[in-house]
Amino acid sequence: MRKSVLLALAVACAAHIPAQTARDGRVALSLADAVDMALERNVTIARNTISLGADERAKSHAWNSISPSASVSGGLSTIPDGIGDSGSPSDYTAELSGAISLSFSPNLFTSIKSARISYEQGVVSYEQACRTVELNVREAFYGLLYEKENITLQERNLQTAKDQYEQNLAKYNQGRMSELDVLSAEVRYKSLQPTVENAHITFTNDLEAFAQLIGMDGTAQIDLQGSLDDVQISGRVTLDGVEINAPAVVSLQKQLEKAQNDLLAARFSAYAPSVTARWSHGLSSRPANGERSTTDSGSLSLTATIPLDGLLPWSQRADGVASAQDTIADLELQLADARRSLAVSTQSSLRKISQSQSSLTSRQANVELAQRTYDMTLQAYNRGTKDLLSLQNASDDLLSAQVNLMSEQRALISAVLALEHTIGVPFGTLSDKK
């Protein structure tokens, strides 16, 4: 079926342009770079590749049960003095024989089909492993972008607090501001420093974990390329025209197909005859009346074996058929339940995405409103009509609105990624990239 997945991955890796390394040793890493690195270096995927190769080999050789078996035997013996017809000590007997046998059972068909289904299950497992790794990489990448942009906002807020403190200090030295306002500005400025430091530490730790995830050295200096704004989920997200290939359902379908084949194999074992053909040929040479006599003999046999214990309802083979039927019934129930769960989960995800889109619109409006409020409060503060506390509150509201907006962007992206993973479509199907 697809020498396929392995070849496709090899081509993708070969065609991929590696991440660019700057002169200072820093690596510029895009999302595509990160995904390709993870698919190439991840241990779980490597192990699945080995298992898939074994399944493909078993599929290719599934017919080997009908390979003929051959045997050759020979012997040479001497006859003691006075026993042979000629009484010569050189009398001997020589024998050479060979045989070829071939067996055929209807289970050959089910064995070949079982090997094919096992290979297809291996392909499904391999693809699921790749998609899970890619999902983890994408979520981690967007999480780091969120942390990176959050650091930018926190540093900007810290710089604003510092500028405000320095301005107030200058006004205090000029006798135009009270000492209390200067101390309040200083407290605010210094209280924001640990927040920024913690954000940097968290980002560094998460970046090292991300490097390990994609197979890079944890000490590598990585520059993430991209922004949360690169992913746009505009308009109502629907699955109209989208081919759903949910991994959970596909896996159960393959299990059911294998169980149905196992039932056929059990029936063949219980009721179907097996045929064995054997051809043998032998040569022998022995002394007779002072001369040597050579005998050439051969035989061909055809044997059919018909099992009868399957006709007995309490026999082991009859129980095997019944157990195989029970397995099919159980898998059919699981498959029906998985399809219902998929439908419920999909609708829930779509509602979550829609709600997140509405929240994102509101949060964008909140940022604009908070920015206008802060700008007007700053102007009023500079004119002396607003106090420092009002300015600080306006600054906090603006920062909170900006962080909430980014958080909602990240939540929306994660919700779409989760839905794409659940229904088994390529990542990016439900979003528009700039």
Span 59-98, pLDDT tens digits? 776 666 666 677 788 777 776 654 545 445 457 777 888 7
Residues 6 or more apart whose CB falls under 8 angstroms from that of 282 comprise 95, 96, 97, 98, 295, 296, 297, 298
Residue located via tokens 């991840």: 42
Average pLDDT, integer, range 410-423: 92
What CA–CA distances, in Å, run from 1 to 113, 115, 125? 13, 12, 15
Average pLDDT, integer, range 16-25: 51
Residues 6 or more apart whose CB falls under 8 angstroms from that of 299 comprise 279, 280, 281
Instruction: Count Cα neighbours of 369 within 13 Å in the Cβ-side half-sphere.
Output: 10
pLDDT greater than 60 at residue 166:
yes
Q: Which two tokens stand for residue 232?
A: 């746009």
Angle at 106 (CA atoms; ends 100, 109), nearest 5 degrees: 100
pLDDT greater than 80 at residue 364:
yes
Cα 314 from Cα 300, distance rounded (Å) = 37
Cα 36 from Cα 130, distance rounded (Å) = 10
Average pLDDT, integer, range 297-305: 78
pLDDT greater than 80 at residue 193:
yes
User: Between the ranges 112-126, 306-320, 412-426, where is the mean pLDDT highest?
Assistant: 412-426
What's the confidence (pLDDT) of residue 21?
A: 54
Average pLDDT, integer, range 343-358: 92
pLDDT greater than 80 at residue 416:
yes
Among 142, 156, 152, 153, which Cα is nearest to 226's?
142
Residue located via tokens 């700053």: 378
Under 8 Å between Cβ of 146 and 410: yes
